[in-house]
Homo-oligomer: A and B are copies of this chain.
Amino acid sequence: MLSFECDYNTGAHEKILQKLCETNYEPLPGYGADKYCESAKAKIKDACDRKDAQVFLLAGGTQTNQTVISSVLESYECVISADTGHINAHEAGAIEYSGHKVVALPQKYGKLDAHEVENYLKVFFADENHAHMAQPGMVYISHPTEYGTIYTLDELSALSRVCRNYSIPLYLDGARLGYGLMSDGTDVTLKDIAALCDIIYIGGTKVGALCGEAVVFTHNNAPKGFFTSIKQHGALLAKGRLLGIQFDTLFTDGLYYEISRNAIKSANRMREIFKKKGYRFFIETVTNQIFIILENEKAEELKKHVSFGFWEKYDDTHTVYRFASSWATTDVDIDALAGLL
């Protein structure tokens, strides 16, 4: 059975497994105080080119979004997101569970537009009754977005400018950040992101780790008591080494970028194959996620041999499906897929 269902269908990159095995019997302090966590954090700060950054390692994406957003916001503040943003659409109300409204603005190709945000803020503060409403306290974006699209440097800079004008932190969810950074034609680097955003999370789970997301407060702006907040959210692993070792490996010798690039090359090949075979794309993407509109019958046929992800109903006879490559996708897999299409 072939699998293009998602980018978290295999285990971890073998260098990670190898390092976990090698270090297994080293006694290390718990809760992230070990030397591998320290090393990982230093490497991530370097990669971001931010000496004054603070790095924290958490286990999963929704957990990270909930912990970061609810710790940064004051209790009466809300977070602005594209309506398709992961926190708004697919996290089971985790942000609201922590007490905060997600204000959803319309998206374009999964992206939040700087003008849209600026206009929202202008109208909000011009409203004489705005003290009766949840106050905007953060802007949330994802890169790549949930639709596999990416921001240009201009778009990101414009968002950053609006946020800084209003003194509202900009938070970038990089669950699949590697795939965005390694996309063909992107003009955005990790350093750009670290310079333009106030908080970012660099995804591990979907980019070669068993689990793990690295939160970066880019300019010494972690909220007071953040370590305690992590614990309070149930997000503090006793064996912090599990996260430290993984991120230390990913950020050694550019492994994170290298394996991300593999996913992009794989996705590029897949896109060509889909195109050549006449499949309809639901949206144009340049990252590792490809959205294809399939006739329902065709889909059922394909499902016998390959797994892929339900995205949404298109119409009564068609459905949108997601085909994802990953750091682990091989040419053999793609050839096999090509044979089935």
Are A8 and B25 touching (Cβ within 8 A)?
A: no
With A11-B25, A11-B241 known as contacts, the answer to whether A76 contacts B310 (CB < 8 A) is no
Residue A334 lies at the interface, judged by CB distance under 8 Å to chain B: no
A2 to B26, CA, bound (A): 10
CA distance A236 to B211 in the complex (A): 11
- Enumerate A13-64 residues with CB–CB distance to B below 8 Å: 14, 17, 20-21, 23-31, 59-64
Contact partner of A224 among B74, B99, B132, CB < 8 A? B74
Cα–Cα distance between A280 and B233 once the two chains are bound (Å) = 37
Query: Which stretch, A85-93, A109-117, A255-263, touches the partner chain B?
Result: A85-93
Task: Report whether A25 and B5 are in contact in the complex, using a CB–CB cutoff of 8 Å.
Answer: no
Judge whether A24 and B9 touch: CB under 8 Å: no
- Chain B residues closer than 8 Å to A220, beta-carbon distance: none
How far is it, in angstroms, between the C-alpha of A89 and the C-alpha of B120 when the chains are bound? 13
Q: How far is the CA of A328 from the CA of B93 in the complex (A)?
A: 40
Interface residues of A in 218-248 (CB under 8 A from B): 224-225, 227-229, 231-239, 241-242
Q: Residue A74 contacts which of B225, B238, B328 (CB distance < 8 angstroms)?
A: B225
User: Which of B8, B12, B63, B65 is in CB contact (< 8 Å) with A235?
Assistant: B63
A275 at the interface (CB under 8 A from B): no
Select A126's contact among B10, B92, B135, B313, beta carbons within 8 Å. Answer: B313
Contact with A206, one of B2, B90, B238 (Cβ below 8 angstroms): B238
Given A62-B234, A238-B61, also A227-B131 (CB < 8 A): yes
Give the docked Cα–Cα distance between A123 and B135 (Å).
Answer: 31
B residues in contact with A14, CB < 8 Å = 24
9 A-B pairs with C-beta separation under 8 A: A3-B27, A8-B30, A10-B24, A90-B132, A91-B132, A131-B228, A205-B238, A205-B239, A210-B239
CB–CB B211/A242 < 8 A: yes
A307–B91 CB distance below 8 A? no
* Bound-state Cα–Cα, A64 to B238, Å: 13
State whether the Cβ of A70 lies closer than 8 Å to any Cβ in chain B: yes
The reply on A78 being an interface residue by CB < 8 A is: yes
Contact A75 B229 (CB under 8 A): yes
A23, closest chain B residue (CB) = B11
User: A77 contacts the other chain (Cβ, under 8 Å)?
Assistant: yes
Q: Measured between alpha carbons, how far is A131 from B232 in the docked complex, in Å?
A: 10
Q: Are B228 and A92 in contact (CB-based, < 8 A)?
A: yes
Question: Which residue from B10, B26, B229 sits with its C-beta under 8 Å from A76?
Answer: B229
Please tell me if the beta carbons of B96 and A101 are within 8 angstroms of each other in the complex: yes
Please name the residue on chain B nearest to A11 by beta carbon: B24
| Contact B8–A231 (Cβ < 8 Å) | no
A20: which B residues are within 8 A, CB to CB?
11-12, 17, 20, 210
Q: A99-B97, A224-B74 are in contact. Are A92 and B11 (CB under 8 A)?
A: no
